[in-house]
Amino acid sequence: MTAPDPDVAALLARWSDRGEPAMFAGTDTPEGVAAARERYAALLRETVRPATAAPEVLDDAPVPVRVHRPVERTSDALVVYAHGGGWVLGGGAVYDPVAQRLADDTGAVVVAVDYSLAPEHRFPKPLHDVLDGLGWALDHAGDWDADPARVGLAGDSAGANLVAGAALARRDRRAPVVGTLLVYPPPDFEGRYASVRENGEGLFLTAADVVACSKLYLGSASPRGDIRLSPLRADLTGLGPTIVATAGLDPLRDAGRAFAEALTAAGVDARLREHSTLVHGFLGFTGVVPAADEAVAALHREFAALLTA
């Protein structure tokens, strides 16, 4: 197995030494879910590069949104973003630094959809929230002098799953987005992938975490045959250019690879960008892992080019 980046290894060792539990440890009770959310928010504050500005928080949309304006506006594109956290963690202000970085690097306004979290709101509520937030953002693009014909989608982890579904919905309405950025996505609830076994322990996201968050999101729903859960199994033809970023030491690595391959087979301009020495969650490690910061900068540059192509 490839060795982790030295700064990633040091971060993981620090968390191990102080006894940090797995991300979804104890989430079988409401109290455990609340504790996991607090732990996750604290870890992100410890590792992410601080935000350059605060968002405008709007509660009058169909779903709460957080509007991030770039420090320097260089694009009239509009980006709709969905955060990670296994559909369970990461709501509110937790991902503000990540979304603001996306706005600053692309020069575009970013509307971060603060979708409802599981297990209080299970599938398909978070997906519906992202779709509603996207529709609202398109209707209000003029409020930010953005071009609704130049909308891009971005998401990481669970958020990447949700925006992949939103990209399919826009394609079905014959209005595909101009570009999509999916960072370590979980695109398939039905497949079995070797990377879950290979990278399932000691690398931040564990195999047990993958199972736990999936159960919290699904509840009693079956994933079989539902492309809203598994966009990899949808007809992918007609989607806009898509960047799929994976981490080499991530349980989700092989599913991300498979999604990029399926997109390419469907004739989509798909760009697989694998970061061999990084782990799941590197989008939030930009303050302490230079290799993660460089990876994010490169992904954002490529995404910005799609928005203006």
Phi, psi of 242 (to 5 degrees): -135, 125
In percent, the amount of the chain with pLDDT more than 90 equals 98
Alpha carbons 286 and 299: distance in angstroms, whole number: 13
Q: Which of 150, 142, 148 is nearest to 303 (CA)?
A: 150
Q: Which long-range CB contacts under 8 A does 95-98 form with residues at least 24 apart?
A: 95/44, 95/284, 96/51, 96/54, 96/55, 96/66, 96/68, 97/44, 97/48, 97/49, 97/50, 97/51, 97/284, 98/48, 98/156, 98/283, 98/284
pLDDT at 39: 97
Query: Using one digit for the tens of pLDDT, what is the confidence trace for 113-147?
Result: 999 999 999 999 999 999 999 999 999 999 999 99
**Where does the pLDDT of residue 101 fall: very low under 50, low under 70, confident under 90, or very high at 90 and above?**
very high
Residue 250 among the catalytic residues: yes
Q: 5 falls in which pLDDT band (50, 70, 90)?
A: very high
What is the per-residue pLDDT for 74?
97
Catalytic, out of 250, 254, 275, 293:
250
Q: Which of 75, 157, 195, 230 is catalytic?
A: 157
State yes or no: pLDDT of 252 exceeds 80. yes
Domains of the chain: 6-308 (3.40.50.1820)
pLDDT, position 309 = 81
| Closest C-alpha among 247, 79, 90, 251 to residue 163 | 79
Q: Do the beta carbons of residue 59 and residue 132 sit within 8 Å?
A: no
Average pLDDT over residues 89-104: 97
Amino acid at 247: A
Q: How confident is the model at residue 232 (pLDDT cuts 50, 70, 90)?
A: very high
- The pLDDT tens digits of the residues spanning 57-67 come to 998 899 999 99
Q: Is the pLDDT of residue 162 over 80?
A: yes
For 160-183, give the DSSP string: HHHHHHHHHHHHHTT---SEEEEE
**pLDDT for the residue 59:** 87
Which has the closest alpha carbon to 206: 247, 245, 250, 248? 250
Mean pLDDT of the chain: 97
Residue 280: active-site member: yes
Catalytic residue among 68, 128, 275, 280: 280
Confidence (pLDDT) at 165: 98
